[in-house]
Amino acid sequence: MWGERQTMVVLKSVVLLMSFQLLLMVRGSMVQLKNGGYEDIVIAINPQLPENDKIIGNIQAMVKEASTYLFQVTKQRFFFKVIKIIIPQTWQQKSNYSRLKTESYDKADVIVADPFLKYGDDPYTLQYGGCGEMGRYIHFTPNFLLSDSLFDIYGSRARVFVHEWAHLRWGVFDEYNNDAPFYVSNDFGEAKVEATRCSANLTGQYIFQSCQGNKCTIRQCKYSNMTNLFEAGCKFVPEKRQTASTSIMYMQGLPSVVEFCDKHSHNEKAPNMQNKMCKYKSTWEVIMNSTDFSKASLINSSHPPSEPSFVLLQARDRVVCLVLDVSGSMGAHKRISRLYQAAETFLVQIIEIGSWAGIVTFSSSATIQTYLQQIVSENVRQDLIKYLPTRADGGTNICAGVRQGFQVIKAKFSNTDGSETVLLTDGEDNTMRNCLEEVRSSGSVIHTIALGPKAAPELELFSKMTGGLQYSATDALESSSLIDAFSGISSGSGNISQQSIQLESKALQVAVSQWMNGSVTVDSTVGNDTFFVVTSSGSLPSIFLTDPKGKQYGNINFTTSTANPKTARLTIAGTAEWGDWHYQIQNTYTALQVISMTVTSRAASLDVPPVTVRAHMNKDTNSVPSPMVIYAEVSQEFLPVLGATVIATVETQAGTAVDLELLDNGSGADVAKNDGIYSRFFTSLQADGRYNLKVRVHGKDKTVRLGRRQSRALYVPGYIENSTIQMNAPRPEVNNEEIQAKLGSFSRTASGGSIVVSGVEGGYADIFPPCKIMDLEAQIEDESIRLSWTAPGGDLDMGQAKQYIIKMSESFLDLKEAFESATSVNTSSLIPRPAGTKESFQFKPENITAENGTIIYIAVRAIDNASLTSEPSNIAQAALFLPPRQSLPNTPPPPPPPPNNNNPNNGVNITIVVLIVTGSVVVLCIIISTTMCILHKKHGRRGTAMSA
């Protein structure tokens, strides 16, 4: 018996290990790399776009050209092989359009959609993570795909696609920096201002363009008295014909650019995101360290082995089957009644009108409760609720439930392609592997919900294989995680105006006769189809709800059902009043009970996208000591929302919870400041098992919106060709009232799914050092240097460090490669502040004679109480540079350019300018000489007359 038990333990451990490995393998994008060819790349067209076949044709042309370019720039390693294009359901159906399988708009690698506020056509990639981590998606506007006039600004679409693909797939960053476009260099013995670029061998001129209406003038740039760098608005205009062949991540549109910067051509001193995020490594070095590169081999050919093939897919009505566990263990911890409450919320409030829904229950075997019904009215929703389970009994056969769910879908449609299955279970089942292949090939997306601590450890395999969502819910009654899980399963069609948005989700233990009070904000972007739902673990409490205008609602206004008497629901007719809704709920039960309030709504208008929140962790599985990162993207469609308070709650399967404020400050886990991505490391691990993530977001009147994303293709200001400056039209700007307008107050709650953690049990010591400081800045003030940075924590970006080590050198390489050997700065008076706060420190450098052209490099490390040390910070530059009186004497200021009716650009020939200026000077000298001569003669005649 002992041997059998040991064998079972070993087998179970092997299964868990295999599950974790598979989860890690399939996590993230569904793109596959086979023999150098990328397959199953999904490009999705937004359903709001009007039908235009030219978009599809130009996507295909772009990818075909990009495949050849990608093959060239990766030195015959990678190319594009199979591309799937999702056509909106609103477009006309055609015979060559196939039905979607597990693909969806929300999971697409490339999105084609209008920019919100129409502020421009910059292609960009949404990047959450650090160096080498995959991005979320690439965003192209339809105008970018349709307008050939943008070629001069960004380069060919194919080159732009490769630029963005490098962001998305390999986690490299841009080698320009709009926030720090210039820096001081003395690499060649002479201090001068350089453009932030890679490589530094790219040549060009520094031009300032000013426009009024359609008339633009250009001149050479001046120096700023404040920064001693070039003035704000100065642009580096490159020569169109270059000898340098790099770099794609700087200016991909230059014809000579056919390579990524490598260790030989990389400009490690440029203050750009690539250097900041990737420890001064070149983009090609990062790509060579990728998993893709390790799998690739040289292809002995000058062209890709094959051209890309395209599969056109079209979305159909949403089809969902609930597959619900009703085994005997579901009778414990009130699981079956909580399941009823959560599933009812999904059927009444979450699933979209026009969708199809069916219900299957399973224990030792599976039973079809109702075949698919199309939700065309409230009556259909109420009819579906009747089939939700209320009793639990029997064993657990997950495969039986999934197979029966597939049968429900096939009874209406010929196959399960493009359907969704919501699979909930609380039990273990060692036969799950028997249907893995069926699930994999089904074409149905499986969303999994693990209820309680003993749900099958292999459950997440189903969701990961099919691209589904994965959730977990605790047995703790004061948790609303089960309702949150069902509320998070909305359509992935991209039509956010139809999706349900959770505004509030709060649960609390309330003593006898005590109150649960709170408020929820209904903002101007939502208000339609609004529900207030109160649940209880004992009996319904007394409910008092007041809208922003003072109208009151009580128990009489809420509805309940005999099948679910512990849930009361209020539906607001029309559009709910905007503002703060206040609720007071009293426990009138004879004992302590758990009361919850959930509020959902939909967009108020088809024309104004609602504020949404997407939350997740950086991994689906994690093993200590690897840190976890929590992300919350707060946006109004593609526009980041700033200034919000974002609180993440991480809950163990035992029900204990940890709250953590996420920040958008560009330090610690946060990659970029003010991009609407709120982030934080999570280190408070308590036990092995599943952890559930929930995020609450609150915005007040100070909340503003920001315009552009990071990681985007450079908007090229112009080119110099044959000594002629040819300027592009200035970048279109949105007026400040639009882009910085106050969004107002709002409330959001979102589930971020679950993560499986191992390696915690048995405890662990302090294993997390302070995080790397990413935003160190230095400035010379008189004879001192002032430093500023954001404080790290004692554990990554949590807590407080113990001390700082500051090093300086006149050699950049000293700090990059031999930090400890560099000159130390006395920091005895510097006491670290709590994580996330701003630090400032001033010191006078010793043994360095400052003169014009002196550059001092500084870096910082933090140490915690366990003597764990952070990585060296980014290397800041303090430069003593006195600009010359005239910048660039070899390029005289050009006159206003002539108008060009075919292009909004403006050109001027430098040779003509030189001749004109030289001729003007000669003419002016002749005039002056002649005048002086005449005056001299007159003076001579007067003198002669006087002497006579």
DSSP letter at 109 equals S
- Given a contact cutoff of 8 angstroms between Cβ atoms, the answer to whether 685 and 760 are in contact is yes
Residue type, 561: S
Tell me the C-alpha distance between 713 and 124, whole Å: 6
Provide φ and ψ at 59, rounded to 5°. -60, -45
Nearest to 129 by CA among 628, 792, 791: 628
Whose CA is closest to 438, among 415, 472, 414, 471?
415
pLDDT digits (tens, 9 = 90+) for 637-662: 888 999 999 999 999 888 899 999 99
CA distance 857 to 271: 12
Q: What is the pLDDT of residue 665?
A: 92
- Residue 494 CB coordination number (10 Å): 22
**Helix intervals (H) in 298-434:** 335-345, 378-385, 398-412
**628-703+743-758: CATH, from 1.25.10, 2.170.140, 2.60.40, 1.10.10:** 2.60.40
pLDDT in tens, 464-505: 999 999 999 999 988 999 999 999 999 999 999 999 999 999
Q: What six digits make up the tokens of 280?
A: 């001064």
User: Which of 420, 447, 349, 346 lies closest to 387, judged by CA?
Assistant: 346
Q: What is the mean pLDDT of each run of 10 residues along the chain (948 residues)?
A: 37 37 47 97 97 98 98 97 97 95 95 83 93 96 96 96 98 95 87 94 95 90 92 95 93 94 96 96 98 95 96 96 97 95 97 97 98 97 97 96 98 96 95 94 96 93 94 92 96 92 96 97 96 95 97 97 93 96 97 96 93 93 89 92 94 90 94 93 89 95 74 94 92 67 86 92 78 95 92 95 96 94 95 96 84 90 96 94 62 43 41 42 45 43 35
SS3 of 5-21: the string is HHHHHHHHHHHHHHHHH
pTM metric for this prediction: 0.89
Q: Is 164 a catalytic residue?
A: yes
Classify residue 588 by its DSSP letter.
Answer: -
Angle between helix 459-466 and helix 2-26 axes, rounded to 10 deg? 20
* Every domain range in the chain assigned CATH 2.60.40.10: 777-880
- Cα–Cα dist 678/71, whole Å: 36
CA dist., res. 591 & res. 135, Å (int):
50
Q: Does domain 496-608 have CATH number 2.60.120.380?
A: yes
Q: Side chain identity at 67, as an amino acid letter?
A: S
**How large is the C-alpha radius of gyration of the chain?**
32
Distance separating alpha carbons of residues 216 and 696, to the nearest angstrom: 48
Identify the burial level of 821 via C-beta atoms within 10 angstroms of its C-beta, where 0-12 means exposed, 13-18 middle and 19 or more buried: exposed
Say how many C-beta atoms besides its own lie within 10 A of residue 556's C-beta: 7
**Residue 942 in 3-state DSSP?**
helix
Neighbour-count burial of 50, counting CB atoms closer than 10 A to its CB (0-12 exposed, 13-18 middle, 19+ buried): exposed
User: Tokens 């569904």, residue?
Assistant: 30
> One of 51, 65, 164, 820 is an active-site residue; which one?
164
pLDDT of residue 767: 87
Strand 645-652 relative to strand 657-662, pairing: antiparallel
Contacts 24+ apart (CB under 8 A), 825-832: 825/858, 827/803, 830/803, 830/804, 830/806, 831/803, 832/791, 832/800, 832/801, 832/802, 832/803, 832/804, 832/862
Q: How far is CA 507 from CA 593, 598, 838, in A?
A: 10, 9, 35
Q: Which two tokens stand for residue 324?
A: 């619900």
Q: Please, which residues have CB within 8 angstroms of residue 446's CB and are 6 or more apart in sequence?
A: 402, 420, 421, 423, 439, 462, 463, 465, 466, 468
Averaged confidence pLDDT in the chain: 88
Determine the CATH number of domain 777-880.
2.60.40.10
Do 319 and 281 form a contact (C-beta atoms < 8 A)?
no
Name the residue among 717, 671, 666 with its Cα closest to residue 230: 717
How many other CB atoms sit within 10 Å of the CB of residue 626?
A: 12
pLDDT of residue 701: 83
How far apart, in whole angstroms, are the C-alpha atoms of residue 899 and residue 840?
50
Q: What DSSP string describes 877-901?
A: EEEE----SSS-TTSPPPPPPPP-S
Question: What stretch(es) of the chain map to CATH 2.60.120.380?
Answer: 496-608
Q: Helix %, strand %, coil % for the chain, to 5? A: 25, 35, 45
Residue pair 651/474 in contact (Cβ under 8 Å)? The answer is: yes
Backbone angles phi, psi at 42, to 5 degrees: -105, 125
- Whole-angstrom CA distances from 64 to 81, 151, 307, 402 are 9, 17, 7, 40
Any residues with CB less than 8 A from the CB of 386 and at least 6 apart, and which? Answer: 563
Instruction: CATH 3.40.50.410 in the chain: give the residue spans.
Output: 317-493
User: What is the spatial distance between Cα 737 and Cα 706, in angstroms, rounded to a whole number?
Assistant: 11
For the stretch 117-121, contacts whose Cβ atoms lie closer than 8 Å and that sit 24 or more positions apart, written own/partner, are 117/639, 117/707, 117/734, 117/738, 117/739, 119/707, 119/708, 119/732, 119/733, 119/734, 119/738, 119/739, 120/708, 120/715, 120/731, 120/732, 121/147, 121/150
Beta strands in 88-231 (DSSP E): 98-99, 110-112, 124-126, 137-140, 182-185, 192-195, 204-212, 215-220
| Straight-line distance from the first to the last Cα atom of the chain, in angstroms, rounded to the nearest whole number | 143
Backbone angles phi, psi at 237, to 5 degrees: -105, 115
pLDDT at 889: 39
Question: CATH second-level architecture of 317-493?
Answer: 3-Layer(aba) Sandwich (3.40)
